[in-house]
Structure formats: structure tokens, C-alpha cells
Structure 1
Amino acid sequence: MARAYGGVPAEQRRAQRRAALLEAALTLVGRSGAGRLTVAGLCAEAGLNERYFYESFRTLDDVLLATADVVLGEVTSAIITAVAEAADDPQAKARAAIGAAVGLLADDPRKARLVIVEPLSVPVLAARRAEVADAFVALIVAQAEQFYGAETTLAVGSWGRFAAAHLLGGLSETLTAWVRGELPISRDDLVERNAELFALVAQNVVERGLNAR
């Protein structure tokens, strides 16, 4: 059994070192990009001996994915909380969800670069982004069903998932352009314009489903 050192159990020390490496990865990717990440540089940033890298990770791809997963988990939690607290109105729900995601990423440019910009050129992050996109589509559909009811969702049929994928793709593209400085609008405008489109498309899809009954 691993013993405690300085009163801190071995498992806790290991978790602390892993957390330090994840924070260091976030900082270095935010500063120079994933392509320049090295084990030596990562450990130096974290203030750890290189042997501790291999205590938690096998490759740099592993640490990139783990760091991205932490950020994406934060985004998901922020969205779910914001939607639950928002007014009972489609555009208010959309505004809350988009605002929570945009706020979290805009407030920490390192996170925005890791999960929005770097996947454009780093295959392992691109693959994770695609997986997460599928999960977010499912989340949008689930939130819509909770808001509009199972009967309406059933009437909408395949249009529901199609619309969710379409809206998420548009949000992803506009958010990417905004983060890269290619879309010169304010954060509030970015959120509001996307929220309005979400609400408009949702209303159109719901009406289509109801009229098809």
C-alpha cells in the first residue's frame, strides 16, 4: 500500500500531480498551440519531474484529450445549469445555454483555443470535437423534448435531430470565427443572434410537426 507523505495520501498526491499537468497543458496550448507541446515543457510548466508525466499519461495526445475533456465537461455543466435556471421561453433557454458556453470560453482564452481553434489542425482533438458534437446534438434534442413535450417531439420526427445538428454546426462556425477575430461583433451580439436563430428554427420545426398530425 502506498504510504502518505507529509500527511497527504499517495493517491491524493498523484491526483494533484495529474491536475497540475492538465493545468500546464491548458496554459501551454493557450500560449503556443498543441503542436509545440512537449513532455519536457509540460513538466517544466507544472514544476514536476518528467517521470510523473508517465504516472498519469502514456502520450501527449492523452494529456490533450484529458485536458479537453475537462473543459468540455465544464461547458456541458454550465449549459445544463443555465438552461434549468432560464425563463420558460425558447429564446431565453437558447440565450442562457449559448451565453453560458460563450462566457466560459471567452473568459479564459486558453480554453477557447483548446476546444475551438486547435481541433482545426490537431487530428486527435478534431476527433474528440466530432464525438462531443454528437453528444451536444443529443443534449439539444433532449432539452427540446423536455420543453415541448414527448408528443411534439415524436410528431417532429427526424426534423428534430436534423435541426439540432444544423444549429450546432452554425453555432460552432460562428463561435470559431468570433474567437479567431474574424467576426467583428460583441459577445452579447454573438449570443443574441445565435439564440434568435435557435428559437426561430425550433418554432418552425415544432409547427411543421404539429401541422403534420
Structure 2
Amino acid sequence: MTRQRTYGGVSAEERRAQRRNALLEAALEILGTEGLDRLTVAGLCTRAGLNERYYYEQFDSREAVLEAVFDAIAEELAAAVLRALLTAPADTRGKAHAAVAAGIGVLTDDPRKTRVALLVSSSSPELRSRTTHNIKAFANLVAAEGIDFYGITDAEPDPAIGFRATYLVGGLMQTLASWSQGDLPMSRDQLIDEITEVFVLLGEDLAHRIRHA
């Protein structure tokens, strides 16, 4: 049986995870402050304080780094939204506001993450596909929360639920992109309030339609 060496109480697996986190944090910093052209193996390893062999231990291409950073942001977003929903007020507007504020907070509290999300979404066909996949995942989350909140129990959910959830998530991302580029002259609180209103209007309208179908 192969035994993993432990140094200072840290296993080989934990050290590997630490190196991966260091590389991802370095990639976030480079992408978020300097841009895609500055993301090189040498530059990434220098910023992370690691030998280049540790890069190849984790990644086989620059796209793999981009995917990993993007996925980490998506996971953080999902976790923040779900935590917010657990403690949100029980009314429609309260839940929508809590979820929207949590998601936008993750991205705008650290502007590097907004820049990376927008950068990845347009870097290559493969990464655009990754963006589409994540939008679908968040749309599924929105749809599931809406079905649960409004008590929709149909065996075959109305396809409009998926459509509106996708429209909301995609629209939110495009709106955030415009806002971050200065095209929408409003504060973050105003942005959150306006997006909340759209979520509430589309959600309440559809729930009413389904109940009275």
C-alpha cells in the first residue's frame, strides 16, 4: 500500500489542493487586473510562488485555467445565493432581493470576478459553451426555487418556467456587464432593486397564470 507523506501535519493531497488554490488566486489576479494576454505559465507560477511543474500537475492548457477560475466563481455564486435564500424573508420580493443581492455582491465586492466572468464568456467557442452551461445551471436553480416557493405541483411543469428563468439569468448577466462598463448610471443598490422588480414581476405573473390555467 502506498503511503502519502505528511509534512508539518499537511498531507500530500492537502498540499496539492493548496497549490491549486494558489494558482487559481494568481490567475484571478492576473485576469482581473491585467487581462488575458498576461496569463502565461511563467507569470502565473511567479505570482503563485510555485515551480512550473506544479502548474502542469494541475492544468494542461490556459483554457483549463480559465475554466477552473470561472467554475470556482460560479460555485461561490451558487453557494452565496443558496445561503441568502435560507435566511431571506418569506415573501416573494424578500427572497428575490436576497438572492439577487447575494449574487451581485459576490461579483461586485471583488470586481476581478466580474471581469473574469465577462472575459471567459467571450474568449473562445469552448468557453462560451461553458458560460451557456452555467447560465442553464443557474436558470435551473431559479426555476426550482420558484416551483417550490409557489407550490407548483404539476407533473409536467409549464415550459414557460424554464424560459423565464433562463431569460432572467441571461438578462441579469448582460445587465451586470453593461452596468460594470458604466453604461447604466445607477448605484449598486438601485441595480439590485431594479433586477429584483423584474424577478418579482415575471415570477408572480407566471405563478398567477399557472394557478388559473
Query: What's the TM-score bracket when you normalise by the shorter of the two chains?
Result: over 0.9
Normalised to the residue count of structure 1, the TM-score between the two structures is 0.92
Q: Deviations over 1:29-65 (max 9, x none)?
A: 0012223311111001101111110111111111111
4+ residue segments displaced more than 6 Å: none
How far, CA to CA, are the matches of 2:192 and 2:7 in structure 1? 48
1:155 and 1:196, CA in 2 relative to 1: closer, same or farther beyond 3 A? farther
State the partner residue of 2:189. 188
State the partner residue of 2:69. 67
Q: Name the SS for the 1:185 alignment partner.
A: coil
Q: CA RMSD in A?
A: 1.7
1:51 and 1:149, CA in 2 relative to 1: closer, same or farther beyond 3 A? same
- Measured after TM superposition, the shift of residue 121 of structure 1 is 3.3
1:148 and 1:32, CA in 2 relative to 1: closer, same or farther beyond 3 A? same
State the partner residue of 2:106. 104
Q: Name the SS for the 2:121 alignment partner.
A: helix
State the partner residue of 2:198. 197
Matched pairs, number = 211
Q: Deviations over 1:93-117 (max 9, x none)?
A: 1111110011111110111111134
Alignment-mate amino acid for residue 37 of structure 2: G
Instruction: Could you tell me which runs of 5 or more consecutive residues in structure 1 were left unpaired when the two chains were aligned.
Output: none
Q: Say whether residues 1:29 and 2:31 are aligned partners.
A: yes
Alignment-mate amino acid for residue 39 of structure 2: L
Maintained 8 Å contact 1:34/1:122: no
Instruction: Could you tell me which runs of 5 or more consecutive residues in structure 2 were left unpaired when the two chains were aligned.
Output: none
Maintained 8 Å contact 1:65/1:124: no
Normalised to the residue count of structure 2, the TM-score between the two structures is 0.92
How far, CA to CA, are the matches of 1:44 and 1:78 in structure 2? 31
Q: Name the SS for the 2:6 alignment partner.
A: coil
How far, CA to CA, are the matches of 1:9 and 1:203 in structure 2? 51
Q: After superposing the two structures, state which structure 1 stretch, 77-86 or 32-41, moved more.
A: 32-41
Q: Choose the corresponding residue for 2:131, options 129, 132, 136.
A: 129
